[in-house]
Amino acid sequence: MAQGTQRKFSPEAQKEVDKILFSYGVKESAVLPVLHVAQREFGCLDRAAVELVASTLGLSPTRVAQTASFYTMFSPAPLGKHVIQVCTNVSCSLLGSEGIVRYLEKRLGVERGHTRPDGLVTLSTVECLGSCGTAPVMAVNDRYFENLTTEKVESILRELGL
């Protein structure tokens, strides 16, 4: 059954993967950092990317796909340039995250769980970003924005050129 697309890492990404494998020693424990490299390299973890990670680590594609599915930063479909994740867990929800999500949906013209057709934005809701004391919180790619209000969200969107 080992057919599939024969995808490869670029030489730079392969170098990074080799370094990760070297520092982890046990291949299996390197699954998350190698998934990160693959997600960045291919823009998503589609089947071919999962198969590549699996063969790199000597694991089954199913196992790799299952691991990836636990983490919101890994996606089987291409994500937008700006990945906006709004926490809707208890603290954030009590302090208005639902209103923030609705504001973003309307303002950006994309529903939660989707990527805008121009590929600029992916909007999703997530369960706790680990910053409950500064709720409501959202992340845009690797940056956190806290104590959100719609006014604050608007100025963040403008800063991002959205």
Q: Does 92 interact with ligand FES (rule: CB under 6 A)?
A: yes
Sheet holding 138-140, edge to edge: 114-115, 121-126, 82-87, 138-140, 143-145
DSSP letter at 59?
Answer: -
Under the binding rule (CB under 6 A), the answer on residue 128 touching ligand FES is yes
Q: How many helices (H) and strands (E) does the chain have?
A: 7, 5
Work out how close the CB of 136 gets to ligand FES at its nearest, in angstroms, rounded to a whole number: 7
Q: Is 149 in the site for ligand FES (CB under 6 A)?
A: no
Give yes or no for residue 138 binding ligand FES (CB under 6 A): no
Instruction: Say whether residue 153 binds ligand FES (CB under 6 A).
Output: no
Q: Does 17 interact with ligand FES (rule: CB under 6 A)?
A: no
77 in contact with ligand FES (CB under 6 A): no
In Å, how far are 46, 80, 155 from 124, measured between CA atoms?
Answer: 19, 11, 19
* 91 binding ligand FES? (CB under 6 A): yes
- Secondary structure (3-state) at 115: strand
By the rule CB under 6 A, 131 interacts with ligand FES: yes
> Of residues 90, 111, 141, 159, which one binds ligand FES by CB under 6 A?
90
Q: Which residues contact 46 (CB under 8 A, 6 or more apart)?
A: 76, 77
Closer to ligand FES by Cβ: residue 49 or 129: 129
Terminal Cα-to-Cα distance of the chain (whole angstroms): 45
Q: What residues line the site for ligand FES (CB under 6 A)? A: 87, 89-92, 128-132, 135, 137
